[in-house]
Chains A and B, each alone.
Chain A
Amino acid sequence: MKFSEIKNHLALFRVGIAGAGGLGSNCAVALARCGVGTLVLSDFDVIEPANLNRQYYFTNQVGMFKTTALKDNIARINPDITVIAHTEKLNESNIFEIFEGCDVVVEAFDKDEMKEMLIETVQTKMPGTPVVVGSGLAGWGKSNRISYRKIDETLYVCGDESTVAGDEFPPMAPRVGMVANMQANTVVEILMKKTKDYFQT
């Protein structure tokens, strides 16, 4: 299959990305390069200098909302992608309206309780919509500990499932990028198997 055919297929789909930090920004960029048609981003935070050790932003974007900056960066990489940016904090009640119509949702939060809330909400309020979770990426080395696991048709996890990030064990570009790109790879795999019904509204 030629890349032009792959790109034309991926252009039909919409992917939600919950969080635009290390996982979300890198995953979104990978999906934009592949040609996934519509990306729905959600994040409430602004870029801080400390984020630049792993997140897909630039020094002159410090202080901007991550959603705004990521939309700009994606437009510079692939202007054909439609980016819908929501600058707000996700909770049990707004997740459905923000990600309604998404073919896949990527869990790209930092905090474990936010990860839990997003997974529970999508699995219960958006049944059938696959969630691709990132779990375990702190530190460096141990590349082979990072893996991909399909739990069922609606739940996938990427990461080492064992390292917890903290001040003494920070998330850094290489392993965060590995997990983010593994999530993007999982999304592409799911979408390449899917057919899009053009008459679906």
Chain B
Amino acid sequence: MKILLNNRLEEFSKEPISINEMLELKKFSFKMRIIKLNGVLIPKEKYDSTFIHEGDNVNMLYLMSGG
């Protein structure tokens, strides 16, 4: 399936995949992040139970300490 990840086209070999599977496949290991799926913020407790489908728009933002 093809999805948009931070406005870039990404392809995965199966559909659907959970958010946690996507993070593992992409080797995104930094833990402090915000993820929005089709404009809706997904809390991290739901990364296993929320699935990404063909054509979905995923946005990710890393949160760095310092201010």
Contacts and interface: CB of A to CB of B under 8 A. Distances in A.
Nearest to A113: B32
Question: How would you classify the secondary structure of chain A's contact residues: helix, strand, loop or mixed?
Answer: mixed
Given A115-B32, A164-B66, A165-B64, 5 more contacts: A21-B67, A115-B63, A119-B34, A120-B43, A155-B59
Interface in B38-67: 39, 41, 43, 59, 61-67
A187 interface: no
A108 interface: yes
Interface of B: 32-34, 36, 39, 41, 43, 59, 61-67
Interface residues of A, number: 38
A101 B1 CA distance: 41
B59 A151 contact: yes
B46 to A, nearest CB: 11
Given A113-B32, A116-B34, A152 B64 contact: no
Interface of A: 19, 21-24, 108-113, 115-116, 119-120, 123-124, 133-138, 149, 151-152, 155, 157, 159-166, 171, 176
Contacts of A19: 67
A90 B32 CA distance: 19
29 contacts: A21-B67, A23-B67, A108-B67, A110-B67, A111-B65, A112-B63, A112-B64, A113-B32, A115-B32, A116-B32, A119-B63, A120-B41, A123-B41, A133-B61, A133-B63, A135-B61, A135-B64, A136-B62, A137-B64, A137-B67, A138-B66, A152-B36, A152-B59, A157-B61, A160-B64, A161-B61, A162-B62, A165-B67, A166-B65
